Amino acid sequence: MQILGIDIGGSGIKGAPVKVKRGALSAERYRIPTPQPSTPDAVADTVAKIVKHFRWKGPVGCTFPSVVKRGIVYSAANVDKSWIGLNGRKLLQKKTGCPVLLLNDADAAGIAEMTFGAGKDRMGVVFVLTFGTGIGSAVFVNGALMPNTELGHMRMISRSRGIVEAEHYASDRIRKEERLSWKRWAARVNEYLSLMEALFSPDLFIIGGGVSKKHDKFLPLLKSRADVVPAQLLNEAGIVGAALAAKSLAKVR
């Protein structure tokens, strides 16, 4: 069975059909830059272009960088504020003509990593953290997802700047914008991990997102009482997880 997975990010929207039994893409992913401003109609039209690119007619799993409950968008940190309060699922279904399941982007990445990646068969408290435009979080307790945690938006007391929002201090976007060395950026990430440890006592941190493909440059610099490992699905986790989450929309062929 195949389901189209689409990952909406602050800088790009990408998708591909996924073989859900294997967690593998069945075609090369197709990416389009996120429109600016990232209004609902503009983003939904871009999603429709990806659906059309693959000539897709079946179910679609779609991630979104927001708290999402029953298809309704409740926050908008890295997209246009006009999304807040909108039924994003209905809009995307209207634009694509396909049944759509909409979920938090980091939750989707986490589902993929827990099913096919670094979190497979891991019990206890597992954090999947995605470092990209922002910081996404997915938290699992004995394999069960606690959705919409959005812990990248937590306030933290940094050593150099006082009170900051975590993703405005330690995301990969900030690393690039401030031209931080891997060592300096890893020090900021360590501050964030320390906060997560103090609050949740996790057993495992899985580090994903766009920066995960360069994990050899920073992972050895991360310090934690919990295990810290790179995501195995790298930047495809959101696409795969979205497709897995949308299995409920599909009829088994």
- Read off the pLDDT of each residue in 172-187 and give the average, rounded to a whole number: 97
DSSP assignment letter at 69: E
Over 70: is that where the pLDDT of 152 sits?
Answer: yes
The whole-angstrom separation of Cα 119 and Cα 139 is: 11
pLDDT value for 11:
86
More confident residue, 211 or 250: 211
Largest CA distance in the chain: 56
Alpha helices by DSSP H, the chain: 40-53, 88-96, 105-116, 167-170, 172-177, 182-200, 215-218, 237-245
Domain boundaries, the chain: 2-107+237-249, 122-232
The 10s digit of each residue's pLDDT in 22-69 is 999 999 999 999 999 999 999 999 999 999 999 999 999 999 999 999
Band of pLDDT at residue 253, cut at 50, 70 and 90: very low
pLDDT value for 234:
84
Q: Which residues on neighbouring strands pair with residue 208, listed in sequence order?
A: 130
* pLDDT > 90: percent of the chain: 92
Over 50: is that where the pLDDT of 252 sits?
Answer: no
pLDDT value for 133:
86
The whole-angstrom separation of Cα 38 and Cα 34 is: 7
pLDDT value for 57:
94
Over 50: is that where the pLDDT of 82 sits?
Answer: yes
pLDDT value for 251:
57
Mean confidence (pLDDT) of the chain: 95
The 10s digit of each residue's pLDDT in 184-220 is 999 999 999 999 999 999 999 999 988 999 999 999 9
* DSSP one-letter string for 95-147: HHSS-EEEEEHHHHHHHHHHHHSTTTT--SEEEEEEESSSEEEEEEETTEEE-
Q: With contact defined as beta carbons under 8 Å apart, do 77 and 64 qualify?
A: no
- Read off the pLDDT of each residue in 153-170 and give the average, rounded to a whole number: 96
Same fold, 2-107+237-249 and 122-232: yes
Considering the entire predicted model, what is its pTM? 0.94
- Check if CATH label 3.30.420.40 holds for domain 2-107+237-249: yes
Q: Which residues on neighbouring strands pair with residue 33, listed in sequence order?
A: 12
- Read off the pLDDT of each residue in 140-160 and give the average, rounded to a whole number: 96
- Check if CATH label 3.30.420.40 holds for domain 122-232: yes
* pLDDT > 70: percent of the chain: 99
